[in-house]
Amino acid sequence: MSAGKVYLVGAGPGDPKLITLRGLEALKRADCVVYDRLAGPQLLNRARPDAEFIYVGKLPDRHTMKQEEINRLLVDLALQGKTVIRLKGGDPTVFGRVGEEAELLRKNGVPYEIIPGITSAIAVPAYAGIPVTHRELASSFSVITGHESPDKLDLSIHWDKVTNATGTLVFLMGVAKIGYIAEQLQRYGRPPETPVALVRWGTRAEQRTLTGTLADIEERVKAAGFEPPAVIIVGDVVRQRETLAWIERKPLFGKRVLVTRARSQASELADKIDELGGEPYEFPVIETRLPTEEAAVQAVRDAIRAAETYDWVILTSENGVAFFFRWLDLCDSDIRKFHRARFAAIGPKTAEALALRGVRADVVAEQFRAEGLLESLAGEVKPGQTALLPRGDLARETLPAELGRQGVKTVEIDVYETVLAHGRDPFLLEMLENGEIHAVTFTSSSTVVNLLDALRRLGAEDPAALLRSAEIACIGPITARTAEENGLLVTVTAETATIDGLVKALCDSTTKRGNERR
């Protein structure tokens, strides 16, 4: 068997969008991903569904895997013919011990590639509004380890040379040694009033920044209980934070939001959360697919063959539109066959989905649920007419039941079915237990039910209790009712049942809580 290949990939500082395109491409084709906690858990969702995950970081029941063991593991996996990704936080060449891993791979004849990442040394200060260089303040910067004990620091760092070698000094992993670092810098010529900033968990929802001077930073760190991991920035560039801090000013900064929508739909909500400074954490709990039962499939085919008999085609969701047109293609049919019918849609997004396919809705409900559509259809539908309802298998019966009472013959077809997604996430339960998920979004009743089921499958005995520390945000009253019936305390309900409405409600809630704390 020929050897596989190992990609030594820098994952960036934590924000999953800060991985490079080359790193992401390698991740997507990996047979096996070897990773640690610093790599950012959401990146694992970008790997192939059948990829093997091997965690080499610290777990409660064992110590961190030794570096020599990791080196050997990479060789062994590659010699099995696998494509292996060694996913490392930041850049693998900046205190990432990539040289040791690459050396053993070379000795064993294993092909490898080093893919740089964005180092926390520049990304974390940038997210705190601190450029490491500035035309008027610093024309150079140094990156220095702060992780060693003071005696080892003195052996590895020539304080007399480093202290004034560059305008900006960046120390990685040095929070516990901040007092000693400040003392040495002052001893070798940095003024006591030199600005200092510590940025903890930069680029993530937990990002916090503490500023001071060399003279008082140790005292400030102790008073604030400021803990690692953090990047330390020393120099006049720290003053730029007063005017350049940007992400903290966004309305959802500091909030990690669980997105439970189907993977095919999650990006819209996740992108809006990200744009507003929040950290979307995608955990899709539903999948939509074509029906699998023969009776349901035959019902759809029969309904499409009768296209010319309908007075109305009523669509209640974007999914309904997408799968309806997919079925037209599968049945070798054409939208023109429905020339007798008028089209109705619940909400602007459903209407937009129709318009993208060349069909303008004749009626668009102002309220984004069945009751709103019925209100909009009042005076439009007539007794004796026939309406086709292409929907999902979990759709409510309100619409066909009321149309039937009005004398409208309704033909319901399940153009798609909703099932529980089988996602993998080795960190979600721990993050919920630690209060690291600050809000959970639900965009339908099925996302509520399926998230609780998914958490049970991951090992949670009481999923509802696990969610009590997080805000529960629902897209509308029907979804909120389902959440409450399942033991959840709903704290945010969108006034308008759209993704934009849900995001606005989250922002309003965050602002309100911030004002209450003040």
Residue 497 pLDDT level (bands cut at 50, 70, 90): confident
Per the structure, the count of domains in the chain is: 4
**Catalytic member of 28, 58, 222, 512:** 58
Specify the length of the chain in residues.
Answer: 518
**DSSP 3-state assignment of 483?**
helix
| pLDDT at residue 423 tops 80 | no
Q: Which pLDDT value is given to residue 173? A: 87
- Assess if residue 36 is contained within a domain: yes
Active site residue 65: no
End-of-domain residue from the set 118, 144, 168: 118
Q: Which of 36, 216, 393, 425 is catalytic?
A: 36
Within 10 Å of residue 253's Cβ, how many Cβ atoms?
Answer: 17
Mean pLDDT score, 155-172: 92
114 and 126 both lie in a single domain: no
Where a domain ends, among 118, 134, 152?
118
Average of pLDDT values for 491-511?
93
CATH code for the domain in which residue 445 is found: 3.40.50.10090
Q: pLDDT per residue over 357-374, tens digit each?
A: 999 999 988 766 667 777
pLDDT tops 90 at residue 425: no
pLDDT value at residue 490: 97
Whether 402 is in a domain gets the answer no
User: Any idea which residue has 């930041």 for tokens?
Assistant: 90
pLDDT tens-digit profile of 304-352? 999 999 999 999 889 999 999 999 999 999 999 999 999 999 888 899 9
User: Does any domain span residue 302?
Assistant: no
Query: For the chain, what percent of residues have pLDDT higher than 70?
Result: 95
- Looking at the structure, tell me whether residues 478 and 490 fall in a common domain: yes
Residue, of 59 and 475, whose pLDDT is higher: 475
250 counts as catalytic: no
Give residue-wise pLDDT tens across range 167-219: 999 999 889 999 999 999 999 999 999 999 999 999 999 999 999 999 999 99
18 with 109, same domain? Answer: yes
Neighbours of 500 (CB within 10 A): 14
pLDDT for 78 = 96
The answer to whether position 397 is within a domain reads: no
Provide the CATH number for the domain around residue 175: 3.30.950.10
Residue 348 included in any domain: yes
Tokens of 317: 């969701």
173 labelled catalytic: yes
Q: Considering the domain boundaries, does residue 298 fall inside one?
A: no
3-state secondary structure of 180: helix
Phi then psi dihedrals of residue 4, to 5 deg: -80, -145
Cα distance between residue 151 and residue 149, in whole Å: 6
Structural domain containing residue 365: 308-392+408-417
183 and 219 in a single domain? The answer is: yes
Predicted pLDDT of residue 409? 94
Query: 433-470: per-residue pLDDT in tens?
Result: 999 999 999 999 999 999 999 999 999 999 999 999 99
pLDDT in tens, 375-414: 778 888 899 999 999 998 888 788 888 888 899 999 999 9
Banded model confidence at residue 39, pLDDT cuts 50, 70, 90:
low
Rounded CA gap, 257 and 484, in Å? 19
Q: Domain for residue 89, yes or no?
A: yes
Residues 17 and 34 grouped into a single domain: yes
46-82 pLDDT, tens digit per residue, is 899 899 999 887 654 556 688 899 999 999 999 999 9
What is the structure's pLDDT at 515?
60
User: 3-class DSSP state for residue 106?
Assistant: helix
97 and 21 part of one domain: yes
What pLDDT, on a 0 to 100 scale, did the predictor assign at position 58?
Answer: 64
Among residues 15, 82, 91, 173, the one annotated as catalytic is 173
Q: Which amino acid is at 250?
A: K
Domain identity same for 105 and 76: yes
Collapsing DSSP to helix, strand or coil, 297 comes out as helix
| Cβ proximity of 84 and 5 under 8 Å | yes
With 70 as the cut, is the pLDDT of residue 517 above it? no
pLDDT confidence of residue 153: 73
- Mark whether 130 and 154 lie in a shared domain: yes
> Is residue 129 located within the same domain as residue 111?
no
Question: Which token pair is 483?
Answer: 């959440």
State pLDDT tens for residues 110-127. 999 999 999 999 999 999
Summarize the confidence of residues 22-29 as an average pLDDT: 96
Q: Is 235 in the same domain as 86?
A: no
pLDDT digits (tens, 9 = 90+) for 250-298: 999 999 999 998 877 778 999 999 999 999 999 999 889 999 899 999 9
Residue 327 maps to a domain: yes
Residues 382, 329 share a domain: yes
Arithmetic mean of pLDDT over the chain: 91
CATH code at position 100: 3.40.1010.10
